[in-house]
Amino acid sequence: MRIVSYNVRYFGHGLKGLASTAASKRRIADALAALHPLPDLVALQEVETSSLRAGLAHRGAHPAETQLDAFLRHLGDDFKRRGQVMPYRAWYFPAHVYRLGPIKLYTTGLAMLVNCQRLEVIEDNGHRPHHITHHRNEGLRKVKQTRIAAHLRLEDLQGRRFHLFNTHLSLPTPWAREFWSQPGKMGFGQNQVAEAHAVAHYAQSIAKHEPYLLVGDFNTAPMTPVYRYLTEDAKLRGAQEQLKQLDPERPDAFATAGFMHLRMHLDHVFASGKLEFLDLKGTHTFGDRASPFSGLSDHVPLIATFDVG
Protein backbone atom coordinates (compact mmCIF):
# COMPACT_ATOMS: atom_id res chain seq x y z
CA MET A 1 0.00 0.00 0.00
CA ARG A 2 1.08 3.60 -0.61
CA ILE A 3 -0.05 6.64 1.35
CA VAL A 4 0.35 10.39 0.81
CA SER A 5 -0.04 12.83 3.70
CA TYR A 6 -0.15 16.46 2.59
CA ASN A 7 -1.08 19.88 4.01
CA VAL A 8 -2.48 21.62 0.92
CA ARG A 9 -2.96 25.05 2.55
CA TYR A 10 -6.59 25.27 1.45
CA PHE A 11 -5.42 25.12 -2.20
CA GLY A 12 -4.52 28.78 -1.85
CA HIS A 13 -0.73 28.87 -1.86
CA GLY A 14 -0.65 30.88 -5.09
CA LEU A 15 -2.37 33.73 -3.24
CA LYS A 16 -0.38 33.22 0.00
CA GLY A 17 -3.32 31.45 1.60
CA LEU A 18 -5.72 34.37 1.16
CA ALA A 19 -8.03 32.50 -1.23
CA SER A 20 -8.31 29.15 -2.96
CA THR A 21 -7.57 29.03 -6.70
CA ALA A 22 -8.55 26.63 -9.45
CA ALA A 23 -4.93 26.57 -10.64
CA SER A 24 -3.74 25.33 -7.27
CA LYS A 25 -6.30 22.52 -7.21
CA ARG A 26 -5.46 21.54 -10.78
CA ARG A 27 -1.70 21.48 -10.21
CA ILE A 28 -1.97 19.42 -7.02
CA ALA A 29 -4.39 17.04 -8.78
CA ASP A 30 -1.94 16.69 -11.67
CA ALA A 31 0.94 15.92 -9.31
CA LEU A 32 -1.07 13.27 -7.44
CA ALA A 33 -2.38 11.58 -10.59
CA ALA A 34 1.16 11.42 -12.00
CA LEU A 35 2.53 9.44 -9.06
CA HIS A 36 3.60 5.91 -9.95
CA PRO A 37 2.41 3.73 -8.44
CA LEU A 38 -0.75 5.60 -7.53
CA PRO A 39 -1.31 6.10 -3.82
CA ASP A 40 -3.98 3.94 -2.22
CA LEU A 41 -4.65 6.55 0.46
CA VAL A 42 -4.35 10.33 0.45
CA ALA A 43 -4.69 12.22 3.75
CA LEU A 44 -5.07 15.98 3.33
CA GLN A 45 -4.87 18.70 5.95
CA GLU A 46 -6.23 22.26 5.66
CA VAL A 47 -9.20 21.61 3.40
CA GLU A 48 -12.27 23.87 3.42
CA THR A 49 -15.93 23.24 2.71
CA SER A 50 -17.61 26.37 1.28
CA SER A 51 -16.77 29.88 2.46
CA LEU A 52 -15.84 33.38 1.37
CA ARG A 53 -12.15 32.42 1.22
CA ALA A 54 -12.83 29.14 -0.59
CA GLY A 55 -14.89 30.79 -3.35
CA LEU A 56 -13.56 34.33 -3.61
CA ALA A 57 -11.31 33.64 -6.61
CA HIS A 58 -13.76 31.33 -8.42
CA ARG A 59 -16.02 33.34 -10.69
CA GLY A 60 -18.91 31.35 -12.08
CA ALA A 61 -18.28 28.39 -9.78
CA HIS A 62 -21.25 26.24 -8.83
CA PRO A 63 -22.48 27.60 -5.47
CA ALA A 64 -23.10 24.11 -4.04
CA GLU A 65 -19.62 22.83 -4.94
CA THR A 66 -17.35 22.47 -1.92
CA GLN A 67 -13.60 22.87 -2.08
CA LEU A 68 -13.17 19.10 -1.96
CA ASP A 69 -15.77 18.62 -4.71
CA ALA A 70 -13.85 21.03 -6.93
CA PHE A 71 -10.57 19.28 -6.25
CA LEU A 72 -12.09 15.89 -7.10
CA ARG A 73 -13.46 17.36 -10.33
CA HIS A 74 -9.95 18.45 -11.34
CA LEU A 75 -8.55 15.07 -10.31
CA GLY A 76 -11.21 13.26 -12.35
CA ASP A 77 -10.46 15.43 -15.39
CA ASP A 78 -6.78 14.54 -15.07
CA PHE A 79 -7.51 10.81 -15.10
CA LYS A 80 -9.77 11.26 -18.15
CA ARG A 81 -6.94 12.99 -20.03
CA ARG A 82 -4.75 10.00 -19.21
CA GLY A 83 -7.41 7.58 -20.42
CA GLN A 84 -7.79 6.13 -16.93
CA VAL A 85 -10.68 5.52 -14.57
CA MET A 86 -10.83 7.80 -11.55
CA PRO A 87 -10.24 5.35 -8.65
CA TYR A 88 -10.77 7.69 -5.69
CA ARG A 89 -13.65 8.37 -3.38
CA ALA A 90 -13.32 11.15 -0.81
CA TRP A 91 -14.38 11.68 2.80
CA TYR A 92 -14.50 15.10 4.43
CA PHE A 93 -14.12 15.84 8.16
CA PRO A 94 -15.22 19.37 9.22
CA ALA A 95 -13.34 21.02 12.08
CA HIS A 96 -14.13 24.73 12.50
CA VAL A 97 -16.11 27.63 10.99
CA TYR A 98 -15.24 31.31 11.34
CA ARG A 99 -18.37 33.41 10.77
CA LEU A 100 -19.33 37.04 10.45
CA GLY A 101 -23.04 36.80 11.11
CA PRO A 102 -24.48 34.39 8.53
CA ILE A 103 -21.37 34.64 6.31
CA LYS A 104 -18.75 31.89 6.51
CA LEU A 105 -15.44 33.74 6.30
CA TYR A 106 -13.47 30.52 6.18
CA THR A 107 -13.68 26.95 7.39
CA THR A 108 -11.15 24.31 8.40
CA GLY A 109 -11.13 20.56 8.04
CA LEU A 110 -9.42 17.38 6.91
CA ALA A 111 -10.04 15.09 3.95
CA MET A 112 -9.09 11.56 2.96
CA LEU A 113 -9.14 9.93 -0.47
CA VAL A 114 -9.32 6.16 -0.86
CA ASN A 115 -8.48 4.11 -3.94
CA CYS A 116 -11.65 2.02 -4.02
CA GLN A 117 -10.16 -0.41 -6.54
CA ARG A 118 -7.79 -1.56 -3.77
CA LEU A 119 -9.51 -0.76 -0.48
CA GLU A 120 -12.97 -0.75 1.04
CA VAL A 121 -13.99 1.70 3.75
CA ILE A 122 -16.05 -0.12 6.38
CA GLU A 123 -16.26 2.64 8.99
CA ASP A 124 -15.63 6.39 9.27
CA ASN A 125 -16.27 9.27 11.67
CA GLY A 126 -17.00 11.94 9.05
CA HIS A 127 -20.41 12.61 10.60
CA ARG A 128 -18.75 13.40 13.94
CA PRO A 129 -14.94 13.80 13.88
CA HIS A 130 -13.29 13.32 17.26
CA HIS A 131 -12.34 16.63 18.92
CA ILE A 132 -8.84 16.75 20.42
CA THR A 133 -8.51 20.50 21.04
CA HIS A 134 -6.77 21.50 24.27
CA HIS A 135 -8.34 24.61 25.84
CA ARG A 136 -5.96 26.24 28.28
CA ASN A 137 -8.26 29.24 28.67
CA GLU A 138 -11.99 28.50 28.70
CA GLY A 139 -12.68 32.12 27.78
CA LEU A 140 -11.04 31.53 24.40
CA ARG A 141 -12.92 28.30 23.64
CA LYS A 142 -15.21 29.92 21.05
CA VAL A 143 -12.41 31.59 19.09
CA LYS A 144 -9.74 28.88 19.26
CA GLN A 145 -9.62 26.75 16.13
CA THR A 146 -11.03 23.27 16.72
CA ARG A 147 -8.64 20.38 16.15
CA ILE A 148 -9.89 16.93 15.24
CA ALA A 149 -8.88 13.35 14.55
CA ALA A 150 -10.38 11.93 11.33
CA HIS A 151 -10.79 8.16 11.10
CA LEU A 152 -11.29 5.48 8.45
CA ARG A 153 -11.41 1.73 9.04
CA LEU A 154 -10.25 -0.09 5.91
CA GLU A 155 -10.11 -3.57 4.43
CA ASP A 156 -7.81 -4.63 1.60
CA LEU A 157 -8.41 -7.24 -1.10
CA GLN A 158 -7.02 -9.98 1.15
CA GLY A 159 -9.49 -9.14 3.91
CA ARG A 160 -6.87 -7.55 6.15
CA ARG A 161 -8.20 -4.66 8.22
CA PHE A 162 -6.39 -1.58 9.44
CA HIS A 163 -7.15 2.03 10.35
CA LEU A 164 -6.10 5.45 9.14
CA PHE A 165 -6.17 8.48 11.46
CA ASN A 166 -5.51 11.94 10.05
CA THR A 167 -4.92 15.00 12.26
CA HIS A 168 -3.60 18.55 12.45
CA LEU A 169 -2.37 19.63 15.88
CA SER A 170 -2.47 23.19 17.19
CA LEU A 171 0.51 25.51 17.20
CA PRO A 172 2.22 25.87 20.61
CA THR A 173 0.24 28.41 22.60
CA PRO A 174 2.00 31.74 23.20
CA TRP A 175 -0.11 32.19 26.35
CA ALA A 176 2.02 29.69 28.27
CA ARG A 177 5.03 31.01 30.20
CA GLU A 178 7.29 28.21 28.92
CA PHE A 179 6.65 29.33 25.31
CA TRP A 180 8.85 32.39 25.90
CA SER A 181 11.37 30.74 28.23
CA GLN A 182 12.60 27.96 25.92
CA PRO A 183 14.32 28.21 22.52
CA GLY A 184 12.36 25.34 20.94
CA LYS A 185 8.73 25.96 20.04
CA MET A 186 7.22 23.45 17.59
CA GLY A 187 6.48 20.28 19.55
CA PHE A 188 7.27 21.74 22.96
CA GLY A 189 3.88 23.31 23.75
CA GLN A 190 1.98 21.72 26.62
CA ASN A 191 -1.21 22.21 24.63
CA GLN A 192 0.39 20.19 21.81
CA VAL A 193 1.38 17.40 24.21
CA ALA A 194 -2.20 17.30 25.49
CA GLU A 195 -3.56 17.02 21.95
CA ALA A 196 -1.04 14.28 21.13
CA HIS A 197 -2.31 12.37 24.16
CA ALA A 198 -5.89 12.86 22.97
CA VAL A 199 -5.31 11.67 19.42
CA ALA A 200 -3.17 8.69 20.51
CA HIS A 201 -5.73 7.56 23.10
CA TYR A 202 -8.52 7.91 20.55
CA ALA A 203 -6.63 5.88 17.95
CA GLN A 204 -5.83 3.14 20.45
CA SER A 205 -9.40 2.96 21.71
CA ILE A 206 -10.85 2.69 18.20
CA ALA A 207 -8.27 0.40 16.57
CA LYS A 208 -7.90 -1.93 19.58
CA HIS A 209 -5.89 -4.93 18.34
CA GLU A 210 -5.92 -3.88 14.67
CA PRO A 211 -2.92 -1.95 13.21
CA TYR A 212 -3.24 1.70 12.27
CA LEU A 213 -1.55 4.68 10.67
CA LEU A 214 -1.54 8.10 12.32
CA VAL A 215 -0.56 10.85 9.88
CA GLY A 216 -0.80 14.59 9.46
CA ASP A 217 0.60 18.01 10.20
CA PHE A 218 1.64 17.76 13.85
CA ASN A 219 3.26 21.22 13.99
CA THR A 220 5.97 19.27 15.76
CA ALA A 221 9.67 18.86 15.13
CA PRO A 222 11.30 15.45 15.60
CA MET A 223 12.77 14.51 19.00
CA THR A 224 10.57 17.00 20.86
CA PRO A 225 8.19 16.18 23.77
CA VAL A 226 5.26 15.58 21.38
CA TYR A 227 7.31 13.36 19.06
CA ARG A 228 8.83 11.42 21.95
CA TYR A 229 5.43 10.86 23.52
CA LEU A 230 4.07 9.39 20.27
CA THR A 231 7.09 7.18 19.58
CA GLU A 232 8.02 6.16 23.12
CA ASP A 233 4.87 6.23 25.26
CA ALA A 234 2.30 5.55 22.53
CA LYS A 235 4.68 3.03 20.90
CA LEU A 236 4.29 4.36 17.36
CA ARG A 237 7.00 4.18 14.71
CA GLY A 238 7.85 7.17 12.55
CA ALA A 239 8.36 6.28 8.88
CA GLN A 240 11.18 8.76 8.34
CA GLU A 241 13.05 7.72 11.47
CA GLN A 242 12.62 4.00 10.74
CA LEU A 243 13.78 4.35 7.12
CA LYS A 244 16.73 6.64 8.03
CA GLN A 245 15.39 9.69 6.22
CA LEU A 246 15.51 11.39 9.60
CA ASP A 247 18.74 11.65 11.57
CA PRO A 248 18.00 11.81 15.34
CA GLU A 249 21.26 13.72 15.81
CA ARG A 250 20.19 16.36 13.26
CA PRO A 251 16.38 16.41 13.49
CA ASP A 252 16.13 19.77 11.68
CA ALA A 253 18.03 18.57 8.59
CA PHE A 254 14.90 17.45 6.68
CA ALA A 255 12.27 20.17 6.21
CA THR A 256 8.64 19.38 5.42
CA ALA A 257 7.42 22.99 5.55
CA GLY A 258 8.72 26.49 4.99
CA PHE A 259 7.87 30.11 5.64
CA MET A 260 10.02 32.71 3.86
CA HIS A 261 13.59 31.57 4.71
CA LEU A 262 12.50 29.45 7.69
CA ARG A 263 12.55 25.65 7.24
CA MET A 264 10.73 23.28 9.62
CA HIS A 265 10.02 19.57 10.00
CA LEU A 266 6.34 19.48 11.06
CA ASP A 267 4.69 16.56 9.25
CA HIS A 268 4.88 12.89 10.19
CA VAL A 269 3.62 9.43 9.28
CA PHE A 270 3.40 6.96 12.19
CA ALA A 271 2.39 3.30 12.36
CA SER A 272 1.39 0.82 15.03
CA GLY A 273 1.34 -2.94 15.31
CA LYS A 274 2.49 -5.05 12.39
CA LEU A 275 2.31 -2.27 9.82
CA GLU A 276 5.76 -2.08 8.26
CA PHE A 277 7.18 0.84 6.29
CA LEU A 278 9.03 -0.20 3.14
CA ASP A 279 10.14 3.03 1.46
CA LEU A 280 9.62 6.79 1.17
CA LYS A 281 10.07 7.12 -2.59
CA GLY A 282 8.72 10.41 -3.84
CA THR A 283 9.23 12.25 -0.53
CA HIS A 284 11.35 15.37 -1.04
CA THR A 285 12.56 17.96 1.40
CA PHE A 286 10.87 21.36 1.25
CA GLY A 287 12.42 23.55 -1.44
CA ASP A 288 13.64 20.64 -3.57
CA ARG A 289 12.68 21.67 -7.12
CA ALA A 290 12.86 18.04 -8.24
CA SER A 291 9.58 17.41 -6.44
CA PRO A 292 6.45 17.58 -8.63
CA PHE A 293 4.79 19.29 -5.64
CA SER A 294 7.38 22.09 -5.47
CA GLY A 295 5.75 25.49 -4.95
CA LEU A 296 2.23 24.11 -4.54
CA SER A 297 1.90 24.56 -0.76
CA ASP A 298 3.88 25.72 2.27
CA HIS A 299 4.31 21.99 3.03
CA VAL A 300 5.53 19.03 1.00
CA PRO A 301 3.77 15.66 1.02
CA LEU A 302 5.15 12.63 2.84
CA ILE A 303 4.80 9.57 0.61
CA ALA A 304 5.28 6.16 2.22
CA THR A 305 4.87 2.57 1.04
CA PHE A 306 3.84 0.12 3.76
CA ASP A 307 2.80 -3.48 4.24
CA VAL A 308 -0.33 -4.14 6.30
CA GLY A 309 1.39 -7.16 7.86
- 249-279 confidence digits (pLDDT tens): 888 899 999 988 899 999 999 999 999 999 9
- 145-199 confidence digits (pLDDT tens): 899 999 999 999 999 999 999 999 999 987 666 766 677 789 999 999 999 999 9
What structural domains does the chain harbor? 2-307 (3.60.10.10)
Residue 139 has pLDDT above 90, yes or no: no
Provide the pLDDT confidence category of residue 142 given band limits of 50, 70 and 90. low
Single-letter code of the amino acid located at 106: Y
- 77-133 confidence digits (pLDDT tens): 999 999 999 999 999 999 988 777 887 777 899 999 999 999 999 999 999 999 999
What string of DSSP letters covers 101-157? TTEEEEEEEEEEEEETTTEEEEEE-TTSPEE----S-GGGTTTSPP-EEEEEEEEET
Q: Do the Cβ atoms of 133 and 96 come closer than 8 Å?
A: no
